[in-house]
Amino acid sequence: MKRKRISPVQFIPLSFLCLIAIGTLLLLIPAATAKGESTDYLTALFTATTSVCVTGLVVVDTYAHWSIFGQAVILVLAQIGGLGVVAVGSMLMLIAKRKFSLGSRKLLNESLNLDLSKGLLAFLIRIFKGVFFVESLGAALYCVKFIPLLGTAKGIWASVFQAVSAFCNAGMDVIGPNSMIDFNTDDYLMWVTMLLIIFGGLGFVVWFDIIDRVKEVVKNHLSPRVIFTHLEEHTKLVLWVTLVLLALGTVITFIAEYGNPETIGSMGLKDKLLNSLFQSVTFRTAGFASVPQGALSESTCMAGYVLMFIGGSPVGTAGGVKTVTFFLVFMNAWSYINGRKENVIFHKRVGEEAMRKAAAVVFVSMSAVFIMTVLFVYGGGVSLTDGLYEVVSALATVGLSRGLTPNLNVFRRILIIVSMYLGRIGPISMAIFFSRSAGAENKIRHSEGTFYVG
């Protein structure tokens, strides 16, 4: 009997599910808690899921509830979850000098949502070298502040944890119960955290394109101004969309919260601007908070829903539907309104399949938000603003909460667990599904019908 192979569409979600199961079992061990007592199953499952899915929503304080062993488990889960189970497994195969089959290469390609016929393994090695460098640099920068504050051993551990968590957009920390609120006037820590979040969310393709263009300019003694003109169209689009979204989020937060004494109202102008920018950055799936999220105005929350839903950029550690996906849907509508038959960005035509894929991802993601929000607020006791904030945060793997997460009942905890899982594997799985081979297309050519739209 012929053995049925597991397709990448099945393998990738299952790999995350297995990692969550392993993490849950490890967190159930009494040694994983600070008190040396067993954690209940649902709390362990929730924590393992939020770690693997690099979300950051927690039902117990990471710094107080878990021991160093438990925190280490959480950190490893977040690192693997942020980079991808398949990518980490492939790297371990490389280290062990195992040969890659054609199927393994295809799986890695699809897990990274790439289409590299050559240089795939070199690209993977480059990712891990880059991640190790950025996280190490981030940890060293954090040590400058955390060692004097927490002592040598705890300061180093907090720095490593914070660096990995920020870069992987996980949003968890071991420095206290208030995330970054206690440091919201510390320019140094705020900027280090924001830069790590942004670097993780830009995507590795963008990283390497910028690095290669800088090398080209230095090698050929060209003007630095040509760096942007020589970048790939994907990199240009990611940079532009990222800058626009960060600027819009900063302006909206600054205006909406300017006079709010519970957020930035009592701060000086410089700190108001800094915290508005931080809020805009953290909305992009980071999960760190420099002001109480429950005190944000509804205007800021509305902007947050959109920014969280969009998330970061492809082939990175951030969640959401991704910047490029969202822009392609916007571009399609804009082109239709202006009577254009092609979608052109930076003088390059966007393929029809990419446009269809983007529309499908956004539609399915919006459907998930709607369904989960209806289920979450069912039964009352939770406002629509708070419920939608929690659900979008979970599905976009952001990790921000308006104070609901620790007090959720069993049903709502399970909903958030499912939402975090769907948010982490959903866009990947959908992208693979909608980029299926041409053999899956309709073989019958039908005559065109008449349908009235609008």
The C-alpha torsion from 361 through 366 and 369 to 374, rounded to 10°, is -140
d(CA 30, CA 63): 16
Q: Which of 194, 203, 187 is nearest to 171 (CA)?
A: 194
CB 134 within 8 A of CB 167: yes
What phi and psi, each to the nearest 5 degrees, are found at residue 344?
A: -120, 125
Q: Domains of the chain: which residue ranges? A: 8-436
Secondary structure of 367-393 in the HEC alphabet?
HHHHHHHHHHHCCCCCCHHHHHHHHHH
**For 157-205, what is each residue's pLDDT tens digit?**
999 999 999 999 888 999 988 889 999 999 999 999 999 999 988 988 8
CB 421 within 8 A of CB 49: yes
pLDDT at 8 over 80: no
Rg of the chain (C-alpha set): 22
| CB atoms near residue 191 (< 10 Å) | 14
pLDDT at 230: 83
What is residue 454's DSSP assignment?
A: -
Percent of the chain with pLDDT over 70: 90
Q: Which of 385, 367, 249 is nearest to 308 (CA)?
A: 249
Average pLDDT estimate for 348-354: 87
Which tokens go with 411?
Answer: 């049903």
d(CA 317, CA 308): 14
What per-residue string of b and e applies to 206-227 under the rule 16 or more CB within 10 Å gives b? bbbbbeebeeebeeeeeeeeee
The C-alpha torsion from 234 through 240 and 244 to 245, rounded to 10°, is 30
pLDDT at 439: 46
Top-confidence residue, 103 or 14: 14
The lowest-confidence range among 300-314, 350-364, 366-380 is 350-364
403: Cβ contacts below 8 Å, ≥ 6 apart? 292, 293, 294, 386
Which tokens go with 309?
Answer: 């839903």
Q: Which of 120, 70, 89 is nearest to 12 (CA)?
A: 89
pLDDT at 290 over 90: yes
What are residue 33's DSSP bridge partners? 66
pLDDT at 1 over 50: no
Instruction: Tell me the whole-structure pTM to 2 decimals.
Output: 0.89
Top-confidence residue, 92 or 384: 384
Average pLDDT estimate for 30-50: 94
pLDDT at 111: 66
What is the DSSP track for 272-303?
HHHHHHHHHHHTTTT---SS-GGGS-HHHHHH
pLDDT at 382: 92
d(CA 412, CA 194): 31
Q: Which of 192, 197, 194 is nearest to 141 (CA)?
A: 192
d(CA 181, CA 292): 7
Q: Which of 50, 48, 30, 49 is nearest to 38 (CA)?
A: 30
Which tokens go with 161?
Answer: 């944890």
d(CA 360, CA 358): 5
HSE at residue 427, side-chain half, CA atoms within 13 A, is 33
What are residue 348's DSSP bridge partners? 345
**Kind and range of the H or E element at 348?**
strand 348-349
Sequence-ordered alpha helix ranges (H) in 151-232: 152-167, 187-202, 204-219, 226-230
**Kind and range of the H or E element at 144?**
helix 120-150
pLDDT at 132: 92
**For 297-335, what is each residue's pLDDT tens digit?**
999 999 999 999 999 888 788 888 899 999 999 999 988
Percent of the chain with pLDDT over 90: 54
**For 263-274, what is each residue's pLDDT tens digit?**
999 999 999 999
Average pLDDT estimate for 438-443: 52
CB 139 within 8 A of CB 163: yes
pLDDT at 9 over 60: yes
SS3 429: helix
The lowest-confidence range among 12-16, 265-269, 367-371 is 12-16
Which tokens go with 53?
Answer: 């899915």
**For 102-114, what is each residue's pLDDT tens digit?**
666 777 776 676 6
pLDDT at 41 over 70: yes
pLDDT at 389 over 70: yes
Top-confidence residue, 341 or 323: 323
Under the banding of pLDDT at 50, 70 and 90, the label for residue 218 is confident
